[in-house]
Copies of this chain bind each other. A is one copy, B any other.
Amino acid sequence: MSNAKPKTAITPTRADNYQEWYQQVVRAADLAETSDVKGCMVIKPWGYALWENIQRVLDGMFKDTGHVNAYFPLFIPVSFLEKEAAHVEGFAKECAVVTHHRLEQREIGGQKKLVPGGELEEPLVVRPTSETIIGASFAKWVQSYRDLPLLINQWANVVRWEMRTRLFLRTAEFLWQEGHTAHATSKEAVDETMKMLAVYAEFAESWMAMPVIQGEKTAGERFPGAVQTYCIEAMMQDRKALQAGTSHFLGQNFAKASNIQFSDENNARVHAWTTSWGVSTRLVGGMIMTHADDDGMVCPPKLAPSHAVILPITRKPEDRARVLEYCAKLRAELRGVMFAGSAVRVEIDDRDINGGEKKWGWIKKGVPLILEVGPRDIDADSVFMGRRDQIGQKSTGVKRSELVATIANVLQSIQDALFAKAVAYRDEHTRVIDSKDEFYAFFADPPKKDPNDPTPIHAGFALAHFNGDPKLEAQIKDDLKVTVRCIPLDDNALAAARGLASLDKGRQSMKHDLFTPGTCPFTGQPSKQRVIWAKSY
């Protein structure tokens, strides 16, 4: 088989046309595809396996923090949405509306056609999020302070009708989890909001190898109906920001809208304090945009559908049985090793196809380790091992027993290398900016040679002071398509949740001073801290 490396396995490269590169990675790695239903994607097995691993790990983290799963209706009566004014304002423009409950055969212009029949008295929307429908249940479940806290999570599909979609990052239907909790006091609800933000940060950094900044959103970027919205923000390889997860303190807004009331210890009826928090299949897009390269997907080992694939090399038919037997034994040995809480996931690819094509197929899928075994390797009791994160380097021979003994360490070192690389990339493209001119120059698109040129790679993150004025923020958005991605949380603000193993490695690695007060470069007014400005998904 040929190890000859084509220029790059993905055309175009990131530098040539980032958006098209993304589409091609998704296709080459067999992660997802568009469907015949506008805006809805098909998540293919390799992409879905990434999501299953995300689900498994997050579900464990939610349960470890006291949450239980439940399931609520897909449909929400329009009258429920209307209960919270900001909420309906935020979602009415983009929701799928069910108006009928059957199809009827009609003759139209001489042709038989199926048309909607059985009109509903009240239209239903397919849930874009479930605060209002879950609130109706919470109102029944919460009677006394003894019923609190109520800590619920739901794994579900949601629909937000999007005109401009991109696989995983923005689709009309997507899969997500939505946590919904109710508490007796404001403080408890705020603590919950911060705790789940920390869970998301921990997951993003330790499992996805994606550094994030934990921060608060400005009013303009808040969840419709929330009092405060917190988020984790990551930098993609086009230097745009991806909001990867959000955690909302809802105050009593939704409790009042849904009438979630309880008798407190003094027997007074009071409204509960609620939170909600969610991450979605967008995380798969974040993983691609953080780690994939010009040869395709790069899966962080802790979430990879397969940690390693064994490729039997059998040029002569008479070698085949011996090589396959050796591979099966190797697989069994490797499956006996634990990595990141699971048995090592390893498969043998013995399809009868061209060896180079087969190997490059796995490189494009981003499997962390490719293990090649031929007759001569068996004689030497060794295996050729290639690391996905070191694709340019030659595969190295390693003794079988050593491979089994060290594979967990090797996978961890890949995981660590991916995180370090992502941190370095982000920091390289993060700039501390103290003047308006520099800020505008940083974010100005370079002049296009040709109007058909793809959108260029963006500038990155600007760390600048800000007086907090929403009008100024809107002006900058108009001028540059740049927004405040978040107001980073300082160590004190994170302290409550820190016990939960929120390492906040992402921000701490940033090594910029964000929290010394200064001057807003746009207004000359005082500013408590720097915020993160960027273009975003």
Are the CB atoms of A35 and B72 closer together than 8 Å? yes
Are the CB atoms of A70 and B94 closer together than 8 Å? no
Q: How many angstroms from the CA of A81 to the CA of B70 in the assembled complex?
A: 31
> How many residues does chain A have at the interface if contact means C-beta atoms less than 8 Å apart?
65
A64 to chain B, nearest CB (A): 14
Residue among A41, A44, A136 with the highest chain B CB neighbour number at 10 A: A44
Are the CB atoms of B95 and A102 closer together than 8 Å? yes
Question: What are the residues of chain B within 8 A of A48 when measuring CB–CB?
Answer: 68-71
Are the CB atoms of A33 and B69 closer together than 8 Å? no
A444 to chain B, nearest CB (A): 35
Question: What are the residues of chain B within 8 A of A43 when measuring CB–CB?
Answer: 70-72
Question: What are the residues of chain B within 8 A of A123 when measuring CB–CB?
Answer: 100, 103, 115-116
A34 to chain B, nearest CB (A): 10
Tell me the chain A residues, 46-69 only, with Cβ under 8 Å from chain B: 48-49, 51-52, 68-69
Query: In this assembly, does A96 line the interface, its C-beta being within 8 Å of a C-beta of chain B?
Result: yes
Query: Can you name 18 A-B pairs with beta carbons within 8 Å?
Result: A35-B73, A40-B73, A40-B75, A42-B70, A42-B137, A45-B69, A73-B173, A74-B126, A75-B173, A88-B103, A92-B102, A92-B104, A92-B105, A93-B102, A95-B103, A96-B101, A98-B98, A146-B353
Are the CB atoms of B126 and A42 closer together than 8 Å? no
Q: Which residue of B lies closest to A41 (CB)?
A: B73
**Partner among B49, B75, B161 whose Cβ is within 8 Å of the Cβ of A96:** B75
Q: How many angstroms from the CA of A93 to the CA of B102 in the assembled complex?
A: 5
A480 to chain B, nearest CB (A): 29
Q: Which residue of B lies closest to A96 (CB)?
A: B98
Query: In this assembly, does A78 line the interface, its C-beta being within 8 Å of a C-beta of chain B?
Result: yes
**Partner among B33, B74, B103 whose Cβ is within 8 Å of the Cβ of A140:** B33
Are the CB atoms of A36 and B97 closer together than 8 Å? no
Residues of A within 8 A of B (CB): 33, 35-37, 40-45, 48-49, 51-52, 68-78, 80-82, 88, 92-105, 114-116, 118, 123-126, 133, 136-137, 140, 146, 152, 156-157, 159, 161, 173, 175, 351, 353
A469 to chain B, nearest CB (A): 30
With A92-B114, A152-B45: A125-B97 Cβ-Cβ less than 8 Å: no
Q: Which residue of B lies closest to A152 (CB)?
A: B45
Q: Which residue of B lies closest to A76 (CB)?
A: B37
Question: What are the residues of chain B within 8 A of A40 when measuring CB–CB?
Answer: 73-75
Question: What are the residues of chain B within 8 A of A353 when measuring CB–CB?
Answer: 146
Are the CB atoms of A35 and B101 closer together than 8 Å? no
Are the CB atoms of B103 and A92 closer together than 8 Å? yes
Are the CB atoms of B116 and A37 closer together than 8 Å? no
A473 to chain B, nearest CB (A): 26
Q: How many angstroms from the CA of A111 to the CA of B101 in the assembled complex?
A: 27
Question: What are the residues of chain B within 8 A of A70 when measuring CB–CB?
Answer: 42-45, 48
Given contacts A44-B70, A45-B70, A99-B100, 17 further A-B contacts (CB under 8 A): A35-B72, A36-B77, A37-B75, A37-B124, A37-B133, A43-B70, A71-B175, A74-B159, A92-B103, A92-B105, A93-B103, A94-B102, A95-B101, A96-B101, A102-B161, A146-B351, A146-B353
